[in-house]
Amino acid sequence: MTTRPFHHGNLRAVLLEQGEVMLRETGVDGISLRELARQAGVSHGAPRSHFVDKQSLLDALAERGFDRLTHRVTAVAAQGATFTDRFRAVGHAYVDFAVGDAALMELMFAAKIDDPPEPVQQAAGRLFQTFDELLEGDAGVDAAAEEARWRFKLMFASTMQGTATLIAARRITPAQGQTVVDDAVDMMLASALGREVLQRG
Amino acid sequence: MTTRPFHHGNLRAVLLEQGEVMLRETGVDGISLRELARQAGVSHGAPRSHFVDKQSLLDALAERGFDRLTHRVTAVAAQGATFTDRFRAVGHAYVDFAVGDAALMELMFAAKIDDPPEPVQQAAGRLFQTFDELLEGDAGVDAAAEEARWRFKLMFASTMQGTATLIAARRITPAQGQTVVDDAVDMMLASALGREVLQRG
DNA sequence: ACCTGAACACCGTTCAAGT
DNA sequence: ACCTGAACACCGTTCAAGT
């Protein structure tokens, strides 16, 4: 009780918290389970009780990343007065997140040989769900509108994702990235597909 | 001369060749310098003569990846009859490459804390250069057109990059990705920015 | 110039043992 | 249920030595 007042049931939380910090400071390659255990003041075998292996910890970090990003996107979308405002704000929030947490972003969208584990996939699903809600009109949906909305959403997501990747990889600057997002939003809203999606009521 | 007929001066090439295979089969995390040396039939210290460390090998692989992608994009662009054809073909070639060599693509566009090494950066520059050439008209360029072209190119690159990332991360299917590219090309060509960039002669 | 092989420090993972 | 600590196999890197 006095010898270990700290790690009574919250080692898991500490590992995740420090894992995020380590990710930011050293990148994915710099993450070490043993170093994390050292920082937490436990033996190197201790993390095993909460994460079966290293990948399991990385998956948990990715899952948290998706939830955090979803939260931010939702918050930002709620503030926008007009549809255009919300659209643009979400794009910028997405890119900002990717710039501030590049290594985490990379972990979230890492190339996988087989499907990501269920919890991660569901967390990613919740993010894309907020994009859907951004686009949802009040009118009942017919099949054609559904299809257009789906394609519109995908293009928006691709543009944001690509901008984020190019910034993180240092192929373009953050300022250039924001320009891309603005241009893309303008273009999409003015396009035929955009007008089809946005006619409502 | 008889004891080592094979690795006389081409160990470097063998390591790069096998490195690409290993990348495709096991992903970046699966790449091991010692395993590569084993496959090449040399001691684990041998690679040191050609690559100072593991990162140096990865950089060389990324550089080769950029050059290979550039080559493909150039070839595909040369075949297109109309501007629209070329544009669309380049987009598809880019995404195809990313699907076929997801781990390599990830290596090429990995999040970096500091700038990538010069040779890699130059190889990436050559790729983006081919995008420029795709968009270049015959008329002399004024500043406004230059700016519009720059933004147009960046948006195109971002969309392709994002589509590629989302496919590799298994968030969307390859078929969905191709739809995104087609939609984006149509939208960009029909947009105000696109018309500004494309008025030529 | 290129490669060998021992040495070193560091990993992730496993598992019996403790509390 | 959670953590310890030894053990194992595997790394990347360094470096004196060989050819």
Q: Is the pLDDT of residue A200 over 60?
A: no
Burial class (CB in 10 A: 0-12, 13-18, 19+), B126: middle
Which spans in A28-137 are helix H? 33-40, 54-79, 83-100, 102-108, 118-135
Q: Which of A158, A166, A167, A198 to mutate to test the interface with B (most CBs of B within 10 A)?
A: A158
Count interface pairs A-B at CB distance under 8 A.
Answer: 130
Sign of CA dihedral B111, B116, B120, B123: positive
The distance of Cα B154 from the centroid of its chain, to the nearest Å, equals: 15
Angle at A169 between CA A22 and CA B106, to 5 degrees: 85
pTM of the predicted model as reported, rounded to 2 decimal places: 0.93
Ramachandran class of B43: left when φ > 0, alpha when ψ lies in -120 to 50, beta otherwise: beta
Burial class (CB in 10 A: 0-12, 13-18, 19+), B91: buried
pLDDT for the residue numbered A3: 43
- Whole-number Å distance between alpha carbons of A159 and B89: 18
Q: Is the pLDDT of residue A137 over 80?
A: no
- Whole-number Å distance between alpha carbons of A26 and A24: 6
Nearest residue to A161 (alpha-carbon basis) of A108, A199, A89? A108
Return the exposure string of A117-129: e unless at least 16 CB atoms fall within 10 Å of the residue's CB, then b.
eeebeebbeebee
From residue A101, alpha-carbon distances to A31, A61, A95, A105, A107 in Å are: 15, 12, 10, 6, 10
Residues of chain B with pLDDT under 70: 1-8, 137-141, 199-201
pLDDT for the residue numbered A5: 43
Does nucleic acid strand C have an atom less than 7 angstroms from the CB of B39? no
Q: Give the amino acid at B30.
A: G
The chain-wide mean pLDDT, for chain A, equals 91
What angle do the packed helices A83-100 and A118-135 form, to 10 degrees?
Answer: 150
pLDDT for the residue numbered B200: 52
Shortest CA–C1' contact from A4: which nucleotide? D3
From residue A77, alpha-carbon distances to A65, A81, B145 in Å are: 18, 9, 34
pLDDT in tens, A65-102: 999 999 999 999 999 888 889 999 999 999 999 999 99
- Whole-number Å distance between alpha carbons of B29 and B40: 19
Nearest CB neighbour to B154, from listed A155, A180, A191: A180
Evaluate whether A127 touches A62 at the Cβ level (below 8 Å).
Answer: no
pLDDT for the residue numbered B110: 96
Residues of chain A positioned with their CB less than 8 A from the CB of B171: 109, 124, 128
Nearest CB neighbour to A154, from listed B27, B158, B176: B176
Q: Is the pLDDT of residue A25 over 80?
A: yes
Return the exposure string of A38-67: e unless at least 16 CB atoms fall within 10 Å of the residue's CB, then b.
eebebeeebbeeebeeeeebbbbbbbbbbe
Q: Which residue is it, tokens 């789906």? A: A150
Does nucleic acid strand C have an atom less than 7 angstroms from the CB of B44? yes
How is residue B119 written in tokens? Answer: 């040779």
How is residue B75 written in tokens? Answer: 């070839």
pLDDT for the residue numbered B160: 97
CB-side neighbour CA atoms (13 Å) of B43: 4
Give me the percent of chain B exceeding a pLDDT of 90. 76
pLDDT in tens, B138-187: 455 677 778 888 999 999 999 999 999 999 999 999 999 999 999 999 99
Q: Is the pLDDT of residue A201 over 90?
A: no
- Whole-number Å distance between alpha carbons of B196 and A187: 13
Question: Residue A106: closest CA among chain B residues belongs to which residue?
Answer: B111
Cα dihedral B17, B18, B19, B22, rounded to 10, equals 140
Query: What's the CA B5/C1' D18 distance, rounded, in angstroms?
Result: 19
- Whole-number Å distance between alpha carbons of B63 and B71: 12
Q: Give the amino acid at A106.
A: E
Nearest residue to A155 (alpha-carbon basis) of B43, B181, B36, B196? B181
Does nucleic acid strand C have an atom less than 7 angstroms from the CB of A15? no
Q: In whole angstroms, how large is the CA radius of gyration of chain B?
A: 20
pLDDT for the residue numbered B3: 43
Among A35-44, A52-61, A191-200, B40-49, the least confident range = A191-200
Q: Average pLDDT of A143-156? A: 87
B157 touches chain A (CB under 8 A): yes
